[in-house]
């Protein structure tokens, strides 16, 4: 879209470009990513793209593979084969100065190795998600002995991300409803539980509530739980809520469910995730699903455990990508912020995670509005 291209050009033109030769990018590869990647490639060479698994399995990658180097690594595969992964990254960047745009903390698992191997070639990193933000916080804390650090800028908690988060929740509910209807089930009249009342959990819950559905909420954070009650949602103990649920949405990105929960699950429960199973499931459940999960249809697997049948949608990954995960041009706001952040890496101190200033976010929002023909503001 012309509005996306003009918006990205305005962000790039506003900045003194950092001395970055190439980029490594972790991203969802879908129709909303193409213009952003094109804008990034005008800034620096795209050395490689790691496509997120949840979007990759519902996408024909030919268009991207004809233009960019695609590395097929999940986070689990990076952890299992760090040396080979880093060797490929090293070969791709060569002697170039490079930066990383991450989505979900993929490179947090090789944080210390990045410090040791790339020295001053790695200019810094921009992280897109809350889950990844937390992973880098942990990585920095665990590797405090290293003198050398590289700058990290996070957009995960930016106000520019709010519109995207709200629309992602709607997209998840849309896809969940479509999957359920394909097997003759409707949301109305079902007992629905959302675990996690962060940005995505809140937007999922609001999308369900707008359909006139009662929604139960569980969150380990008492502040979030109190907030959910003030908005008309319901809660109780985790065990009681799980026992009653017909449909479960998991939106924590922090291992919200495991095999031990099966003792409380209803027979016939449907589970939907807002992020990847790598983040949302505990290791014991991933192992059980890999060994014993059986296809019910293209989008639903059945896992039988202790004589209970539990239906897991999209193999435990985020369900919105089944239908494209489209959130429209609002995603350009946070993409614009990532473009801006890349240009600021050289001017950002290392060793902590930073956000760009509010004044810069206002500038980005103003440019986005202008690209949509809205410029009558002070």
User: Quick one: what percent of the chain has pLDDT higher than 70?
Assistant: 95
User: Is-contact 350 149, C-beta < 8 A?
Assistant: yes
What's the mean per-residue pLDDT of the chain? 91
- Mean pLDDT, rounded, for 23-41: 89
Q: What is the dihedral of CA 154, 155, 156, 158, to 10 degrees?
A: 130
307: DSSP letter? T
Of the candidates 350, 355, 347, 353, the one whose C-alpha atom is nearest the C-alpha of residue 151 is 350
pLDDT score at 56: 65
Which domains are seen in the chain, by residue range?
2-161+328-371 (3.40.50.1480), 162-323 (3.40.50.720)
pLDDT value, residue 376: 56
Q: pLDDT confidence of 145, banded at 50, 70, 90? A: confident
Alpha-carbon Rg for the chain in angstroms = 21
What's the confidence (pLDDT) of residue 152?
A: 96
Task: Decide if pLDDT at 211 tops 60.
Answer: yes
Give the pLDDT confidence score for residue 1 in this predicted structure: 45
- Inter-axis angle of helices 34-43 and 2-13, to 10 degrees? 30
Q: What is the DSSP string of 246-303?
A: SEEEE--SS--B-GGGGGTSPTT-EEEESS-HHHHB-HHHHHHHHHH-EEEETTEEEE
More confident residue, 53 or 283: 283
Mean pLDDT of 180-193: 96
Q: Which residues in 1-97 belong to E strands, given as ranges? A: 22-27, 45-51
Q: Given pLDDT bands bounded at 50, 70 and 90, which one contains residue 60?
A: low
Question: Could you write out the DSSP letters of every residue in 96-129?
Answer: --EEEEESSSGGGGGHHHHHHHHGGGEEEEEE--
pLDDT in tens, 90-119: 999 999 999 999 999 999 999 999 999 998
CA distance 63 to 59: 10
Phi, psi of 29 (to 5 degrees): -95, 100
Mind listing the pLDDT tens digit for each residue in 320-367? Answer: 888 776 678 899 999 999 999 999 998 898 878 999 999 999 999 999
Lowest mean pLDDT: which of 8-22, 66-80, 130-144? Answer: 8-22
Structure tokens at 224: 């979030």
In the numeric block, which tokens belong to residue 90?
A: 């090293």
The CA distance from 219 to 240, in Å, is: 13
> Per residue in 9-30, pLDDT tens?
999 887 766 689 999 999 988 7
* More confident call, 198 vs 144: 198
pLDDT mean over 124-128: 96
Entry pTM: 0.87
How many angstroms separate the CA atoms of 274 and 103, rounded?
A: 14
Contact of 27 with 56, CB cutoff 8 Å: no
pLDDT digits (tens, 9 = 90+) for 146-165: 777 899 999 999 999 999 99
Q: Is the pLDDT of residue 257 over 60?
A: yes
At residue 110's C-alpha, the angle toward residues 107 and 113, to 5°, is 130
Cβ-contact 252, 201 below 8 angstroms: yes
Residue 2, pLDDT score? 55
Residues 6+ apart with CB under 8 A from 295: 301, 302
Higher pLDDT, 15 or 232: 232
* Longest Cα–Cα distance in the chain: 63
With DSSP H G I counted as helix, E B as strand and the rest as coil, what are the percentages for the chain, rounded to 5? 50, 15, 35
- Per-range mean pLDDT, top range of 23-32, 52-61, 245-254: 245-254
């Amino acid at each position: 879209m012309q509005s996306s291209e003009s918006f990205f050009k305005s962000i790039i033109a506003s900045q003194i470009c950092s001395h970055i030769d190439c980029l490594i990018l972790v991203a969802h590869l879908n129709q909303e990513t193409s213009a952003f990647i094109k804008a990034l490639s005008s800034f620096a060479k795209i050395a490689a793209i790691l496509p997120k698994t949840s979007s990759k399995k519902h996408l024909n990658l030919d268009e991207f593979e004809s233009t960019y180097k695609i590395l097929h690594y999940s986070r689990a595969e990076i952890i299992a084969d760090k040396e080979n992964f880093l060797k490929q990254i090293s070969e791709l960047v060569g002697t170039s100065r490079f930066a990383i745009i991450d989505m979900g903390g993929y490179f947090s698992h090789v944080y210390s190795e990045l410090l040791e191997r790339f020295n001053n070639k790695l200019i810094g990193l921009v992280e897109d998600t809350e889950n990844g933000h937390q992973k880098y916080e942990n990585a920095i804390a665990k590797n405090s002995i290293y003198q050398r650090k590289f700058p990290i800028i996070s957009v995960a908690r930016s106000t520019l991300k709010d519109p995207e988060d709200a629309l992602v929740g709607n997209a998840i509910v849309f896809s969940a409803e479509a999957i359920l209807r394909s097997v003759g089930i409707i949301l109305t009249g079902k007992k629905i539980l959302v675990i996690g009342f962060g940005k995505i959990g809140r937007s999922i819950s609001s999308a369900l509530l707008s359909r006139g559905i009662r929604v139960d909420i569980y969150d380990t954070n008492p502040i979030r739980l109190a907030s959910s009650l003030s908005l008309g949602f319901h809660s109780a103990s985790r065990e009681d809520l799980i026992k009653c649920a017909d449909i479960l949405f998991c939106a924590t990105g922090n291992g919200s469910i495991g095999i031990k929960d099966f003792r409380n699950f209803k027979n016939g429960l449907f589970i939907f995730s807002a992020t990847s199973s790598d983040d949302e499931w505990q290791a014991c459940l991933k192992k059980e699903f890999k060994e014993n999960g059986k296809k019910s249809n293209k989008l639903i697997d059945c896992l039988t455990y202790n004589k209970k049948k539990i239906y897991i949608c999209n193999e435990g990954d985020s369900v919105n990508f089944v239908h494209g995960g489209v959130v429209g041009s609002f995603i350009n706001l946070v993409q614009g912020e990532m473009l801006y952040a890349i240009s600021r890496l050289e001017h950002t101190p290392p060793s902590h995670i930073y956000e760009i200033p509010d004044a810069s976010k206002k500038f980005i929002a103003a440019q986005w509005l202008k690209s949509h023909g809205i410029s009558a503001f002070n």
